[in-house]
Amino acid sequence: DGGITQSPKYLFRKEGQNVTLSCEQNLNHDAMYWYRQDPGQGLRLIYYSQIVNDFQKGDIAEGYSVSREKKESFPLTVTSAQKNPTAFYLCASSSDRRIDSNYGYTFGSGTRLTVV
């Protein structure tokens, strides 16, 4: 079955460390997205990519970095510059740069990052 795989599901990080969250999709979707979710704040866009080797900052990109070397993969690095990284991170993908289909986005199951 096609889908999006995020790993790990839970991640603990010491202050000052960089960590990388994995996101892989086998849906042949062009576009991929990273969102952060904090309690009571909905989802906020960190970065998105519409094609390979290209990506744009979202609303809260500071302290994060991404790469898109392959269509299937869009890893997110949470750097030590991110002051409050504890959150739930969701990866998503959509097809043809458009969301004019009834299924909208496809989301991964998320990674819960905790800074200890």
Partner 1 sequence: EDKVVQSPLSLVVHEGDTVTLNCSYEVTNFRSLLWYKQEKKAPTFLFMLTSSGIEKKSGRLSSILDKKELFSILNITATQTGDSAVYLCAVGIAGGTSYGKLTFGQGTILTVHP
Contact residues: partner 1, CB under 8 A: 31, 33, 35, 40-45, 48, 50, 56, 58, 90, 94, 97-105, 107-110
The smaller minimum CB distance to partner 1, of residues 69 and 96, is found at: 96
CA dist., res. 44 & res. 20, Å (int): 18
Is 61 or 80 the residue whose CB approaches partner 1 more closely?
61
Q: Toward partner 1, which CB reaches closer, 67 or 80?
A: 67
For residue 40, the minimal CB distance to partner 1 (Å) is 6
Instruction: Answer yes or no: are the C-beta atoms of 36 and 12 closer than 8 Å.
Output: no
- Provide the minimum distance between the beta carbon of 66 and partner 1 in the complex, in angstroms, as a whole number: 14
Is the peptide bond preceding residue 75 cis, with omega within 30 degrees of 0? no
For β-strands 19-25 and 76-78, DSSP reports them as antiparallel
Q: Quote the CA–CA distance of 101 and 93 in Å, as a whole number.
A: 13
3 state DSSP class of 75: coil
Q: Which DSSP state fits 109?
A: -
Closer residue to partner 1 in complex, CB, 49/82: 49
Closest separation in Å from C-beta 22 to partner 1: 15
- Least gap, CB of 61 to partner 1 (angstroms): 13
